[in-house]
Amino acid sequence: MSGGDERADHHHVVIALGANLGDSVVALRAAVESLAAHESTEVIAVSHAYATAPVGGREQPDYVNAVAVIRTGLAPLDVLALAHQIEAAHDRVRTERWGPRTLDIDVIAYDDLASDDSTLTLPHPRAHQRAFVLLPWSEIEPGAVLPGHGAISDLLTGVSDQRIKRLDADVSDSLAVAPPSERSR
């Protein structure tokens, strides 16, 4: 995976967003706005927000999660760098694996790319096990396939025991992206 900008190509990228410190919905909205503001990205779709139980780690508040789909000319590592910049702007501190956070942005899938790169594994190695990725993603791309794992609609059956609840919050409020309820399915 190269760094550098590949403006001639536009890639389909699935991004998972989460937060459980501060006003999580505001943080997710700001993250989506930052993705949309980048000159090499276009936000195509954003799910509703979902309240989810934390996975792993110590006892902590529930998370608010969402999924965004972007079109970008950025290479995979540059998408990750952009995600880290946006997290840093929200005071994300990486001190504890699966610990509480002001903002977490993960690259779930980049086109159909499969990579075991130590910096960015694609698709995300645990996405197929996480309702907080699969359910919001299925809301905005019901026919999506997670490379190497299959249809997300099928993968959802394997995570039905995970606590997740759709919130009324629309993460794309201030963007020119149609809210999930107005998109054709």
Whole-number pLDDT of residue 33: 95
The whole-chain average pLDDT of the chain stands at 87
Strand 115-116 versus strand 11-19 pairing type? unpaired
H or E, element range at 45: strand 41-46
Is the pLDDT score of 96 beyond 70? no
- Please report the pLDDT score of residue 98 as a whole number: 62
Longest dimension (CA), the chain: 46
pLDDT of the residue at 164: 95
Closest CA to 136 of 161, 171, 112, 107: 171
Nearest residue to 43 (alpha-carbon basis) of 54, 51, 31, 57: 31
Convert the pLDDT of each residue in 99-120 to its tens digit.
678 899 999 999 999 999 999 9
Closest to 34 (Cα-Cα) out of 175, 149, 183:
175
Q: What is the pLDDT of residues 126-174, one digit of tens each?
A: 999 999 999 999 999 999 999 999 999 999 999 999 999 999 888 876 5
pLDDT digits (tens, 9 = 90+) for 36-60: 999 999 999 999 999 998 877 678 8
**Catalytic site positions:** 92, 101, 104, 106
pLDDT band, very low/low/confident/very high, at 7 (cuts 50, 70, 90)? very low
DSSP 91-115: T----STT---S-EEEEEEETT--E
Q: Considering only CA atoms, give the Rg of the chain.
A: 15
Buried b / exposed e along 33-58 (16+ C-beta atoms within 10 A):
bbbbebebbebbbbbbbbbbebeeee
How many alpha carbons fall within 13 Å on the CB side of residue 147? 16
Q: Provide the pLDDT for residue 99.
A: 66
Q: Report which residue type is found at 23.
A: D
**Which DSSP helix (H) or strand (E) runs through 127?**
none
pLDDT at 182 over 60: no
H/E run at residue 154: helix 152-155
Confidence of residue 5 (pLDDT cuts 50, 70, 90): very low
List the one residue out of 32, 34, 28 whose CA is nearest residue 52: 28
pLDDT at 101: 86
Inform me whether the pLDDT recorded for 2 exceeds 50. no
Assigned CATH topology for domain 11-127 = Alpha-Beta Plaits (3.30.70)
Quick one: pLDDT at residue 57? 65
Q: Count the Cβ atoms, other than its own, within 10 Å of residue 159.
A: 16
The predicted pLDDT at position 3 comes to 47
